[in-house]
Amino acid sequence: MSAIVAISTPNAVGGIAIIRISGENALEVAEKIFSPFGKKVSEMDGYTCAYGIAHDNGERIDDCILTVFKAPHSYTGEDTAEISCHGGLFVSKKILRTALKNGAVIAEAGEFTKRAFLNGKLDLTQAEAVMDIISAKGELELKMAGTLREGAVYKKVSRCSERLLNLLSGLSAWTDYPDEDIPEVEPQHIIDELKAVSNDLSSLVSNYDDGRIIREGISSAIVGRPNVGKSTLFNCLSGCERSIVTDIAGTTRDIVEETVRLGDIVLRLSDTAGIHETQDIIEEIGVHIAEKTLESAELVIAVFDGSCPPTEDDFELVNKINNKKYIAVINKSDAGVAEEFEEIEKIFIHKVYVSAKESLGIEKLEKEIEELFRISPDSFSSVLLANERQKECIEKSLHCIEESINAIESGEMLDAVNILIDEAEQHILELTGERITEAVVNEVFSRFCVGK
Q: What CATH number is given to the structural domain containing 233?
A: 3.40.50.300
Is 340 in the same domain as 400?
A: no
Is 353 in the same domain as 226?
A: yes
Is 343 in the same domain as 312?
A: yes
Nearest to 443 by CA among 211, 110, 121: 110
Instruction: State which H helix or E strand residue 116 sits in.
Output: helix 111-118
φ, ψ for residue 276, nearest 5 deg: -170, 170
Cα 29 to Cα 20: distance, rounded to the nearest angstrom: 11
Is 169 in the same domain as 219?
A: no
pTM: 0.73
Q: Tell me if 133 is assigned to some domain.
A: no
DSSP 339: G
Which residues share a beta bridge with 105?
A: 4
SS3 at position 196: helix
Is 175 in the same domain as 226?
A: no
What does each of the 452 residues of the chain score in pLDDT, given as a tens digit? 889 999 999 988 999 999 999 999 999 999 999 999 988 999 999 999 999 999 999 999 999 999 999 999 999 999 999 999 999 999 999 999 999 999 999 999 999 999 999 999 999 999 988 888 887 777 777 777 788 888 888 899 999 999 999 888 877 765 555 555 555 678 888 999 999 999 999 988 987 877 777 777 788 888 888 888 888 888 888 765 544 444 434 444 446 777 877 766 788 888 777 675 665 666 667 677 777 878 878 888 888 888 888 888 888 888 888 788 888 888 888 777 777 777 777 788 888 888 888 888 888 888 888 788 766 555 554 578 888 899 999 999 999 999 999 999 998 888 888 899 999 999 999 999 988 888 878 888 888 888 88
Cα 238 to Cα 260: distance, rounded to the nearest angstrom: 6
Number of domains in the chain: 3
Q: Tell me if 115 is assigned to some domain.
A: no
Nearest to 391 by CA among 163, 157, 171: 157
Is 191 in the same domain as 74?
A: no
- Write the CATH number for 183: 1.20.120.430
Give residue 59's domain range. Answer: 4-107
Is 421 in the same domain as 317?
A: no
* Separation in Å, CA 351 to CA 246, 268, 342, 354: 25, 20, 12, 10
The three-point CA angle 301-302-304 to 5° equals: 135
HEC assignment per residue over 252-265:
CCCCEEEEEEECCE
Cβ contact 263:336 at 8 Å:
no
